[in-house]
Amino acid sequence: MCLGIPGQVKQIYEQHGARMGKVNFGGIVKDVCLEYVPELVVGDYTIVHVGFALTKIDEASAQETLKLFHEMGLLEEELEPEAKAAKAPAPESCYVNPNIAKPT
Amino acid sequence: MKYLNEFRDGEIAQRMAGEIRQLTTRPWAIMEVCGGQTHSIIRNGIDQLLPPEIELIHGPGCPVCVTPLELIDKALAIAALPDVIFCSFGDMLRVPGSEKDLFRIKSEGGDVRVVYSPLDSVNIARENPNRRVVFFGIGFETTAPANAMAVKWAHAQGLENFSMLVSHVLVPPAIKAIMESPGNRVQAFLAAGHVCSVMGLWQYPPLAERYRTPIVATGFEPLDVLEGIRRTVRQLEAGEAFVENAYARAVTFEGNKPAQAMLAEVFETCDRVWRGIGVIPQSGWRLSAKYRNYDAEYCFDVSGIQTTESPLCMSGAVLQGRIKPHQCPAFDKQCTPRNPLGATMVSSEGACAAYYNYGRFANVENPGVAT
Amino acid sequence: MSTLPDFTHWACPLPLRDYPNVVIGHGGGGKLGAELVEHLFVPAFRNDALENLGDSSVIEFARGASRLALSTDSFVVRPLFFPGGSIGELAVNGTVNDLAMSGAKPLYLTAGFIIEEGLPMQQLGEIVNRMAEAARQAGVLIVTGDTKVVDKGHGDGVFINTAGIGIVPDGIRIGPQFAQAGDAVILSGTIGDHGMAVMSVREGLAFDSLIQSDCAALNNLVEAMLAVDPSAIHVLRDPTRGGLASSLNEIAVRSQVGIDIDERALPVMPDVQSACELLGMDPIYVANEGKLVAFVAKDSAEAVLAAMRAHPLGQQAAIIGKVTHQHAGMLVARTAIGGSRVIPMQLGEQLPRIC
């Protein structure tokens, strides 16, 4: 129930008395209802679900999160190359799902 | 796409999985209650990156799977009427009712249309004043604001030929029901990211406290899901149980106030039957009295519908994590994706359909798997 | 791009210009129908066999042609015109491609039209001209046809059936049952373009975009590939309805082999990816109309790939996976994050989702 896609507000207009926007999703433009996020201005990014903006993306927070993600595990890799080598990659052509019981 | 692709980085995902492996010392059972997260987990193979001690239980998070059978049958009855244009999200078209699904109704002459947004159905109502237009308003709290606005617009534009068949379900009562069900094994929850964008996080601390279960608001891209799991495991290993926000770029504690205000006006809480699970009190929304004229259950005479759920279907037990799909006696016998008995086999991210596809070729290499 | 038939100098008594829309009489086998043939189809498709206007067309084959390829397909697309193409190009290229996928050289096509009463003549003219242009580009001739008209409300504007015939040169042995373990799986270019181009103009789901259908005839590309080493190419398939996933599943089952692909190698245009994200669709299930997937013997893979990339329709060709002994009959993909997923055959049409 949660397919929400990030897009950038390109234009804001009114239709039937409601605040609408043209939102660009990586090259695709859709008309979106902005009534629920009145603080959105052109240039902002928003999460859109079934034609409605639900939230303004906190870009500072996004960048912060990405930075943390990038750093994750890096220090460990630098300090323990042997430990990293010990974790062998999954075998080719082999699906491994720990949640499925071995077929009997 | 900005704010999407960066959260799919394969290398970072591998490192995050490594972090989770480092943290994990014991088996843990974590449930996500969000079809979108289930889809992402299966689509990206996220569960395979996790250590075998972590069990992800796919909960009743997809409206496709939990919309009550009676409501599906009502939808089918309405869609079959000759003057009706029945609009729906694509997800619902193949969900089996007692006898048919919307696809069958379409093939029998029903005017069934897939739309992207409920507003599309309002437009269709305006353009077809001589037809009755009905929108199938399913979904969790994420979709409710959109459906609410559609009803409001129809009201504002005086579209008397428009109505909505509402079947909204709520996450917090589901968490409660799961934690209180006998034999429950779930120890922590990933909260649905976009549900939280709308509703905020304020409903969850009492649940975390009462049931001593970590609840982590989680996004949908692989890195978001892994981060949600990582924070959950960290809490579990430390014996902690509180509400955390792992999707800060789209979730705040208060949530979306204008949306919540609209929801309070257009909907009212009610008991809801969750397909396969049963009644969960105060777990759904229906249109409030003010908007009763737009409630399809009142506009159409759809009482007296006899529903017959297959007695073999155990999707409820699957959705609550009590059994795994392959433990259902009908699995891969009477029940297959081609002939589904229940909704969990229909939806491509329903747990049963997922197991069906993977199970044909499972090749378990991890010892000590929890079953 | 195309010129409509010039209506201004037609003879009496009932020139086509008096009929802005197709009427039932145009399918009646009488004067109106003859007018349609004489003033629309023949000038557009222009060739000797057609202009004889016999009940069937008689063609002479080159000496030594020992195997014929035959194919037929019907086209029911809605809307009739979409970004990058129309039902016309689809009707020609679809059948040309089906022939080419057997390694055949496509030669002649038939064209049957079932037209809905009321279709604007302008649209029919446009479609026919596009068919003519597509046939010219593919190097095939449309040598015989038929027209029927059905009552208004009983058709989607127009349905077109084309059947095609081609010659399979000796030494070619290509079919869905010939995939072998070790074969490289090569895709000729980006996937999902056509399906999302059509989706962008579909009622209820439309969106603004620059996505164009990739509709194209692939026979010349196939010739270039065969020229490298005809025996090295085991399977060819153009992934139309159901997308790449369906084609690969079908081949895996027919050949009883497993197929492993790496999702990171799949070429997808950014706009197509975005459109799929918006609607919750997977490009691997979306229709293509100008792409092929080839199963090529391991040792010739690089050479065939180079030949594809040198051709305008294969510039973004890529090796996306290989055939394996394991998991026979199934398609498995390595995901971008290093997990794997089984990609099953879809049951019906892929639908947009919110979940």
Q: Terminal CA-to-CA distance of chain A, rounded, Å? A: 36
Residue C270 forms contact with A (CB below 8 Å): yes
Return the closest-CA partner of residue C182 out of C327, C321, C343: C321
Which of B1, B39, B103 shows the shortest C-beta gap to C355?
A: B39
CB pair distance less than 8 Å for C339 and B45: yes
Cβ distance C264 to C333 under 8 Å?
no
What pLDDT is recorded for position A1?
58
Contacts of C203 in chain B (CB under 8 A): 113
Cβ distance A31 to A10 under 8 Å?
no
Confidence at C10, pLDDT banded by 50, 70, 90: very low
**Residues facing B285 on adjacent strands:** B168, B269
d(CA B182, CA C213): 55
For residue A24, which phi and psi values (nearest 5 degrees)? -100, 120
d(CA B360, CA C343): 12
What pLDDT is recorded for position C2?
38
ipTM of this predicted structure: 0.91
Contacts of A49 in chain C (CB under 8 A): 354
Q: Is the peptide bond before C13 cis (omega within 30 degrees of 0)?
A: yes
Query: Which regions of chain B are under pLDDT 50?
Result: 363-371
Tokens representing B264?
A: 């309070």
What pLDDT is recorded for position C92?
98
Select the residue from B19, B115, B142 to test the A interface by mutation, using most A Cβ atoms within 10 A: B142
Which of B13, B43, B116 shows the shortest C-beta gap to C341?
A: B43
Which of C270, C330, C340 shows the shortest C-beta gap to B48?
A: C340
Select the residue from A45, A93, A96 to test the C interface by mutation, using most C Cβ atoms within 10 A: A93
d(CA B171, CA B189): 11
Distance from CA of C340 to the nearest CA of A (A): 6
Work out the average pLDDT over A29-55. 97
Confidence at A10, pLDDT banded by 50, 70, 90: very high
What pLDDT is recorded for position A16?
84
Q: Looking at chain A, which subunits does it touch, using at least 3 CB pairs closer than 8 Å as the criterion? A: B, C
User: Cα C263 from chain centroid?
Assistant: 24
What pLDDT is recorded for position A76?
56
Neighbours of C60 (CB within 10 A): 6
CB pair distance less than 8 Å for B358 and C342: yes
Q: Terminal CA-to-CA distance of chain C, rounded, Å? A: 42
Q: Which residue has the tokens 């997937």?
A: C293
Return the closest-CA partner of residue C100 out of C140, C46, C136, C132: C140
**Residues facing A13 on adjacent strands:** A20
Confidence at C64, pLDDT banded by 50, 70, 90: low
Distance from CA of C320 to the nearest CA of B (A): 17
Which of C203, C204, C337 shows the shortest C-beta gap to B45?
A: C337
What pLDDT is recorded for position A91?
36
Residue B47 forms contact with A (CB below 8 Å): yes
Residue B156 forms contact with A (CB below 8 Å): yes
Strands B84-88 and C85-86: unpaired
CB pair distance less than 8 Å for A28 and C338: no
Distance from CA of A97 to the nearest CA of C (A): 9
What pLDDT is recorded for position B347?
73
Distance from CA of C336 to the nearest CA of B (A): 6
Q: Looking at chain B, which subunits does it touch, using at least 3 CB pairs closer than 8 Å as the criterion? A: A, C
pTM, full prediction: 0.89
Mark which residues 17-46 of C lie under 8 Å from A by CB: none
The chain B residue lying nearest A98, using CA atoms, is B52
d(CA A25, CA A22): 10
Neighbours of C152 (CB within 10 A): 14
Cβ distance A47 to B194 under 8 Å?
yes
Cβ distance B66 to A33 under 8 Å?
no
d(CA C166, CA C71): 9
Work out the average pLDDT over C259-266. 97
DSSP letters spanning C35-96: HHIIIIIHHHH--HHHHT--SS---PPPTT---EEEEEEEE--SSSEETTEEHHHHHHHHHH
Contacts of C332 in chain B (CB under 8 A): 361
Distance from CA of B304 to the nearest CA of C (A): 30
Using beta carbons and an 8 Å cutoff, which residues of A are at the interface with C? 1-3, 5, 22, 25-30, 49-50, 89-90, 92-96
What pLDDT is recorded for position B228?
98
CB pair distance less than 8 Å for A1 and C355: yes
Distance from CA of B53 to the nearest CA of A (A): 8
Q: Looking at chain C, which subunits does it touch, using at least 3 CB pairs closer than 8 Å as the criterion? A: A, B
CB pair distance less than 8 Å for C324 and A26: no
Residue C344 forms contact with A (CB below 8 Å): no
Distance from CA of C221 to the nearest CA of B (A): 32
| Residues constituting chain B | 371
Which of A1, A45, A66 shows the shortest C-beta gap to B143?
A: A1
Cβ-proximal residues to B135 (8 Å cutoff; 6+ apart), any chain = B87, B88, B115, B118, B121, B122, B147, B150, B162, B163, B164, B165
Distance from CA of B88 to the nearest CA of C (A): 10
The chain C residue lying nearest A93, using CA atoms, is C260
What pLDDT is recorded for position B364?
30
What pLDDT is recorded for position B2?
94
Contacts of A95 in chain C (CB under 8 A): 327, 332, 340, 342
Does the pLDDT at position C245 exceed 90? Answer: yes
CB pair distance less than 8 Å for C204 and B116: yes
CB pair distance less than 8 Å for A93 and C258: yes
Contacts of A74 in chain B (CB under 8 A): 15
Distance from CA of C313 to the nearest CA of B (A): 26
Q: Is B10 helix (H, G, I), strand (E, B) or coil?
A: helix
Select the residue from B121, B352, B363, B371 to test the A interface by mutation, using most A Cβ atoms within 10 A: B363
DSSP 8-state class, residue B82: T
What pLDDT is recorded for position C292?
98
Contacts of A17 in chain B (CB under 8 A): 156
What pLDDT is recorded for position B366?
30
Does the pLDDT at position C157 exceed 60? Answer: yes
Does the pLDDT at position C70 exceed 60? Answer: yes
d(CA A98, CA B365): 8
Give the strands of the sheet with B215-218, arranged side by side. B54-58, B28-32, B188-192, B215-218, B243-245
